[in-house]
Amino acid sequence: MKYNFWNSYSKIVKTKISEQLELGHNKFVIYPFGDIGVLTKYILNNVFNINEEYIIDNSQANNQNIFSLQDAKWERDIYILICSENSKYYHQIRESILQFVPAENVIDLFEDKYERIEEKKVYETLARLEEFIIHE
C-alpha cells in the first residue's frame, strides 16, 4: 500500500514541481505537512535539490521551521504547494490559504486529480443561480 502511495503521488508532485521550475518558480512552501507534505519535502530536497522556504501546518506549528497559517511570512516570489487531496478538507484548506496569499502563488498539487476545476465551475454556477433567484 505504501509503495502505491509513494509511486502515484510522487509522479504528481514531480510533475507539478517541474512545471513550476520551468516557469522560473523555485521558492516553495509546503502546506499542510501530512503524508503528502512529507513526500513533497522529500522530492523537493532530494530530487530537485531545493530546500523549502518553510512549512505551514497549524497542528504542528513550532515557530522554528513549521508555522501556523497566520504566522507564516509570505513574499511575492514564494509559491505555496498545497499537499492535500483530502476531500473532507479540500475547500477549507484552499480557502484558508487564499486569505493570505494571492491565487497565482498557490500551486494545488491535486487540482486535476478529482476534477475539482469542474466542481468549482458548478459552485460558481450555483452561486450565480442563487443570486438570480434572490433578485427576482
pLDDT at site 116 = 44
pLDDT at site 114 = 45
Q: How many helices (H) and strands (E) does the chain have?
A: 4, 5
> Which residue, chain included where needed, has cell 509570505?
74
pLDDT at site 29 = 94
Grid coordinates of 106 = 498557490
**What DSSP designation does 105 have?**
G
pLDDT at site 128 = 59
The enclosing H or E element of 106 equals strand 106-108
The enclosing H or E element of 102 equals none
Show the low-confidence residues of the chain (pLDDT under 70): 1-6, 63, 112-136
pLDDT at site 112 = 58
CA dist 13 → 33, 63, 81, 95, 102 (Å): 14, 26, 9, 21, 21
pLDDT at site 42 = 94
pLDDT tens digits for range 53-83: 999 887 777 767 788 888 887 788 999 999 9
pLDDT at site 51 = 95
pLDDT at site 21 = 95
Dihedral sign for Cα atoms in the order 113, 54, 6, 47: positive
pLDDT at site 119 = 45
Quickly name the fold that domain 2-135 has.
Answer: Rossmann fold (3.40.50)
pLDDT at site 129 = 57
Domain limits of the chain?
2-135
